[in-house]
């Protein structure tokens, strides 16, 4: 499957029904289009099994609650929809996108309590998110935008509106020949990349930012557990920008990114070293186990 995302063969699950790909549309007065009232999940399937599928479905419903709506499908129903989509499209290794949003209805303003909540699930083949960076190391810009304070946004929701500054940051990074951008948080601490969490290595120990104002990714949690199981010391803490020059290795984690080593952030260089390669390889085996 290739081409523009609105012009492909296949089927998409929409509100409980399988719909031809090109017919999976919404009205221009959909509330989410105007006010970003939507939440989503990105997931990967390996050999027919969606990795941590249920945790993603649970988080989708929780994200909706964080932005003040209820998804009218249970976790079990969301799970069934995801696998139905994969089966209908003949996919075993795939990226799966579930999204729920406030649709068009009686309200067309900031308030939208009377509008129906809708949901869709799509799946497609998708390779490495950062291309050949898994072997060469990704190159990151440093974003001018910062992750907001947790009393200004529902920071633990995977909500569409929270990604606006991520899109802007990634566009700027790509214009500079980078794969992505690293963001600081509202206090000036190292936070994350635009769609992935970040890890650093120093003297055989791992350091990763405390996710107190950005999403604590499911892949991030998995990698922390894997490192601890391998008796690697993991420090979850606030990281100052000036510490970047002292770190030896770096990698990103995310459903799309999986585990991707980083070779450069701004003017700081990192080795694509043994620990970064080892945890990347171990993750690849883990998700296919």
152 in any annotated domain: yes
Half-sphere exposure of 273 (CA within 13 A, CB side): 17
3 in any annotated domain: no
156 and 269 both lie in a single domain = yes
- Of 124, 142, 166, which residue sits at a domain end? 124
167 and 266 both lie in a single domain = yes
Kindly give the parts of the chain with pLDDT less than 50: none
205 and 141 both lie in a single domain = yes
63 and 145 both lie in a single domain = no
137 and 107 both lie in a single domain = no
Is 264 a catalytic site residue? no
Out of 158, 170, 202, 264, which one is annotated catalytic?
Answer: 158
pLDDT value for 103: 98
205 and 231 both lie in a single domain = yes
154 and 185 both lie in a single domain = yes
Token pair belonging to 220: 């991030």
pLDDT value for 1: 53
112 and 146 both lie in a single domain = no
pLDDT value for 133: 76
**Closest to 259 (Cα-Cα) out of 166, 140, 138, 171:** 138
Q: How far apart are CA 89 and CA 84, in angstroms?
A: 9
Token pair belonging to 274: 């043994």
185 and 107 both lie in a single domain = no
273 and 183 both lie in a single domain = yes
40 and 78 both lie in a single domain = yes
Token pair belonging to 3: 């081409």
4 in any annotated domain: no
Terminus-to-terminus CA distance in the chain, angstroms?
26
Give the structural domain span for 255: 133-287
- Of 64, 97, 124, which residue sits at a domain end? 124
- Of 124, 150, 182, which residue sits at a domain end? 124
The three-point CA angle 96-99-103 to 5° equals: 155
How many CB atoms neighbour CB 54 within 10 A? 12
Number of domains comprising the chain: 2
5 in any annotated domain: no
- The 8-class DSSP code of residue 101 comes to E
163 and 181 both lie in a single domain = yes
């Amino acid at each position: 499957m290739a081409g523009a995302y609105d012009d492909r063969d296949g089927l998409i699950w929409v509100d409980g029904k399988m719909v031809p790909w090109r017919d999976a549309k919404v009205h221009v007065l959909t509330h989410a289009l105007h006010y970003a009232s939507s939440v989503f999940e990105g997931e990967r399937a390996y050999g027919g099994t969606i990795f941590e599928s249920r945790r993603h479905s649970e988080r989708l419903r929780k994200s909706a609650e964080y932005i003040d709506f209820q998804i009218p499908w249970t976790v079990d129903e969301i799970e069934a929809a995801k696998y139905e989509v994969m089966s209908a499209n003949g996919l075993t290794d795939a990226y799966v996108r579930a999204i729920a949003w406030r649709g068009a209805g009686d309200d067309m303003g900031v308030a939208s309590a009377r509008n129906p909540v809708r949901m869709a699930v799509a799946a497609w083949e998708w390779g490495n998110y950062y291309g050949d960076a898994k072997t060469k190391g990704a190159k990151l810009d440093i974003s001018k935008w910062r992750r907001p304070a947790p009393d200004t946004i529902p920071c633990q929701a995977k909500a569409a509106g929270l990604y606006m500054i991520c899109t802007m940051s990634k566009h700027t990074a790509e214009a500079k020949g980078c794969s992505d951008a690293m963001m600081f948080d509202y206090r000036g601490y190292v936070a994350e990349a635009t769609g992935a969490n970040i890890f650093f290595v120093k003297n055989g120990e791992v350091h990763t930012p405390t996710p107190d104002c950005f999403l604590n990714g499911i892949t991030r949690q998995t990698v922390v557990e894997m490192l601890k199981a391998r008796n690697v010391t993991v420090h979850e803490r606030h990281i100052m920008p000036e510490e970047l020059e002292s770190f030896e290795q770096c990698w990103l984690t995310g459903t799309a990114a999986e585990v991707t080593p980083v070779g450069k952030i701004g003017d700081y260089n990192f080795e694509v070293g043994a620990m970064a390669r080892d945890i990347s390889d171990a993750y690849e085996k883990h998700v296919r186990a």
